Amino acid sequence: MQLDILCTKTQKVSSQLELNDGVFAAPYNEALIHQVVVATAASVRQGTKAQKTRAEVSGGGKKPWKQKGTGRARAGSSRSPLWRKGGVIFAAKPRDFGQKINKKMYRGALASILSNLIATGRLMVVDAIDLARPKTVDLISLLNNLNIKDVLIVTDNISENLYLASRNLYSVGLCGVHDVDPVSLVAYEKVLMTSAALKHFEETLV
């Protein structure tokens, strides 16, 4: 298949890129994409919360009062979960939320996402994204020329000017071709990608 490469200044087609149909014309597998997106999002969860059970809090070794005769309720420890400063009944512990995803599944989900982006017109390809200055207004002007606002920019080489210009825009994401993930690809309305980055996907997903 052939994909148009746009000029960032005029929004006109400057050339065309020949792509592998096996990668960029893959069938849309919603169930696979959902599974991989959920697994990717779960893998970044820290899971570092921790609470103490009644066995871990300090104190409580002695029975507070005798079993009978005081008129008060029975108590065996001052660190019971019912007491102030007592342990937590179902205490949270550090855990790993990661889910296992096979490489073939991950590559298949990426191919399906990219194919769907192309089919729905959400993927825009340019030769390069060059900014002469590290100015946010310059990047906004470039995006306005392409008539896009909510966009993920994927490039093979993140320049310092592009990084500095994009970091203050909440509706613009920026990542290198080696760092892109399924969650980012589906989170934005448009994906702006350089031709070199697209060729990298073709080589790795074929």
Multiple choice CATH, 2-45+98-205, 2.60.40.10, 3.30.390.30, 3.40.1370.10, 3.40.1350.10: 3.40.1370.10
9 class by beta-carbon count within 10 Å (0-12 exposed, 13-18 middle, 19+ buried): exposed
Give the confidence band of 17 by pLDDT, cuts at 50, 70, 90. Answer: confident
Mean pLDDT (the chain, rounded): 91
> What pLDDT score does 19 carry?
84
Percent of the chain with pLDDT over 70: 98
Q: What is the mean pLDDT of residues 109-116?
A: 94
> What pLDDT score does 31 carry?
96
pLDDT-wise least confident of 2-11, 23-32, 158-167, 195-204? 2-11
Q: Tokens 């994204």, residue? A: 129
150: helix, coil or strand? Answer: coil
| Calpha distance 192→143 (Å, rounded) | 9
> What pLDDT score does 13 carry?
73
Q: What is the mean pLDDT of residues 156-176?
A: 92
* pLDDT value at 11 more than 70: no
Looking at residue 68, the DSSP 8-state letter turns out to be S
> What pLDDT score does 97 carry?
93
Q: Tokens 């893998």, residue? A: 43
Q: What is the mean pLDDT of residues 168-178?
A: 92
* pLDDT value at 15 more than 80: no
Task: Tell me which amino acid residue 33 is.
Answer: I
48: helix, coil or strand? Answer: coil
| Calpha distance 162→19 (Å, rounded) | 27
